Amino acid sequence: MTQARLRAGVIGCGFFAQNHLHAWATIPGVDLVAVCDRDPARAQAAAAAFNVPGCYTDAAAMFAEAKLDFVDIATTMPTHRALVELAASHKIPTVVQKPFAPSWEDCIAMVGACKAAGVPLMVHENFRFQAPLMAVRKVIESGAIGTPHFGRLTFRTGYDVFANQPYLAKEEQLIILDLGIHVLDMARVYFGEVETVYCQTQQIRPGIRAEDMATMLLRHRSGATCIVDVSYSSKIDPDPFPQTLLEIEGPRGSVRMLRGLRMVVTSDGVTTESDVSTPLLPWTSQPWHTAQESVLNTQQHWVDCLRQGIAPQTTGEDNLRTYALVTAAYRSQAERRAVAPQA
């Protein structure tokens, strides 16, 4: 296990990368030595705000000069493959934002490039590291409700995601790929791998190109069934954004995540309720703070794994299984039948 300080670089200094930058600045033993954005103003603003010595508009120049121990790619998905392959060619361990890529072929290529280079690759799947969702996982893994046989994981909001992420309005695949991917990942965590996916989508908001609601029914290999439903067009007051609410049942009881992140566990007839919301950090704000804190947890997990030389939870290879649920959901919608995810 190495305790040496780690030299980090970040590519993409846009909207969500601000959370990555704050998190790297917080994690002990990490020196943020380079930032890169093809928009020079964004790169310069990040370098100034986080006191970063290296400021680049070209990732190739950053890799050539900055002597990185790892790189964190926080750009949008069309650029991921070229940047991950570039990192692999420099043998640099890599974190890359979700969605992994626009196509299955790109995802496979990135996993292959990092494997061939012998470097770890982690997808920045931050829902795995959200405190409330980790609390639910702990309940399930404790055996308190028995092996889960039914679940509903739901993320419905009317929060204007298009204000911060205007590119979403132009996507040809929207909410399943952008948000459903996180919730489908948690379905794998809670219920295991998936046998079939049945999906129906809707497009409610005018002026966008693709679906902003999706209802998915998963049949897991364990026999469990799980409904995953996501929406960007729900008029709910108060709006729970960005909370994932859920109910999971097993033979001994149930676990529910209610609005306001109150977790209710029933086990052998005894019910307990706890507050699993997270406090604000100096750099986080409502309503995003639980998601922002999960960015810190995700990146701390990466550093811990890198230091110990072990694979992180959300390797590129692991994320292929989540990505396969996304592609199965879109195929299911198109073909109007239940679809087995690609192996």
Ligand X SMILES: NC(=O)c1ccc[n+]([C@@H]2O[C@H](COP(=O)([O-])OP(=O)(O)OC[C@H]3O[C@@H](n4cnc5c(N)ncnc54)[C@H](O)[C@@H]3O)[C@@H](O)[C@H]2O)c1
Interacting residues with ligand X between 111 and 170 (CB under 6 A)? 126, 165
Contacting residue, 5, 39, 209, 308, with ligand X by CB under 6 A: 39
User: Is residue 86 near ligand X by the rule CB under 6 A?
Assistant: no
User: Is residue 59 near ligand X by the rule CB under 6 A?
Assistant: yes
Contacting residue, 21, 23, 24, 37, with ligand X by CB under 6 A: 37
The residue among 81, 68, 70, 41 whose CA lies nearest residue 57 is 41
Measured in whole angstroms, how far is the alpha carbon of residue 68 from the centre of its chain? 24
At residue 244's C-alpha, the angle toward residues 295 and 254, to 5°, is 120
Q: Would you state the structure tokens that stand for residue 63, as one six-digit string?
A: 């890799």
- In the bound state, the residue with its beta carbon closest to ligand X is 14
| CB of 283 vs ligand X, minimal distance in Å | 15
User: Is residue 50 near ligand X by the rule CB under 6 A?
Assistant: no
**Crossing angle of helices 40-49 and 17-26, rounded to 10°:** 30
At residue 255's C-alpha, the angle toward residues 252 and 260, to 5°, is 165
In sequence order, the β-bridge partners of residue 221 are none
Binding flags for ligand X, 87-106, as an x/- string (CB under 6 A): ----------xx--------
How many residues touch ligand X under the rule CB under 6 A: the total is 25
User: Is residue 292 near ligand X by the rule CB under 6 A?
Assistant: no
Which residue in this structure is represented by tokens 């570039």? 86
User: Is residue 250 near ligand X by the rule CB under 6 A?
Assistant: no
User: Is residue 215 near ligand X by the rule CB under 6 A?
Assistant: no
User: Is residue 15 near ligand X by the rule CB under 6 A?
Assistant: yes
| CB of 164 vs ligand X, minimal distance in Å | 6
| CB of 57 vs ligand X, minimal distance in Å | 7
User: Is residue 84 near ligand X by the rule CB under 6 A?
Assistant: no
Contacting residue, 77, 122, 226, 248, with ligand X by CB under 6 A: 77
User: Is residue 330 near ligand X by the rule CB under 6 A?
Assistant: no
C-alpha distances in Å from residue 121, one per residue of 71, 81, 93, 112, 151: 10, 12, 6, 10, 30
Give one DSSP letter per residue of 196-224, joined into a string. EEEEEEE--STT-SS-SEEEEEEEETTS-
**Strand ranges across the sheet with 54-56:** 54-56, 30-36, 6-11, 70-73, 94-97, 121-124
The residue (of 3 and 286) whose beta carbon lies closer to ligand X is 286
What SS3 state is found at 23? helix
Sole window of 69-77, 110-118, 268-276, 323-331 interacting with ligand X (rule: CB under 6 A): 69-77
User: Is residue 298 near ligand X by the rule CB under 6 A?
Assistant: no
Which residue in this structure is represented by tokens 């040809």? 172
Q: Identify whether the C-beta of residue 254 lies closer than 8 Å to the C-beta of residue 247.
A: yes
Question: What is the torsion angle, in degrees rounded to the nearest 10, for the CA atoms of residue 170, residue 106, residue 74 and residue 64?
Answer: -130
Sole window of 63-71, 73-81, 84-92, 301-309 interacting with ligand X (rule: CB under 6 A): 73-81
- Give, rounded to a whole angstrom, the gap between the first and last alpha carbons of the chain: 34
Sole window of 74-82, 217-225, 273-281, 322-330 interacting with ligand X (rule: CB under 6 A): 74-82
The residue (of 97 and 267) whose beta carbon lies closer to ligand X is 97
Contacting residue, 76, 200, 203, 300, with ligand X by CB under 6 A: 76
Contacting residue, 44, 45, 50, 79, with ligand X by CB under 6 A: 79
User: Is residue 42 near ligand X by the rule CB under 6 A?
Assistant: yes
The residues, any chain, with a CB within 8 Å of residue 14's CB and separated by 6 or more, are 37, 42, 74, 75, 76
Q: Identify whether the C-beta of residue 323 lies closer than 8 Å to the C-beta of residue 100.
A: yes
| Binding residues for ligand X (CB under 6 A) | 11-17, 36-39, 42, 59, 74-77, 79, 83, 97-98, 126, 165, 178, 291
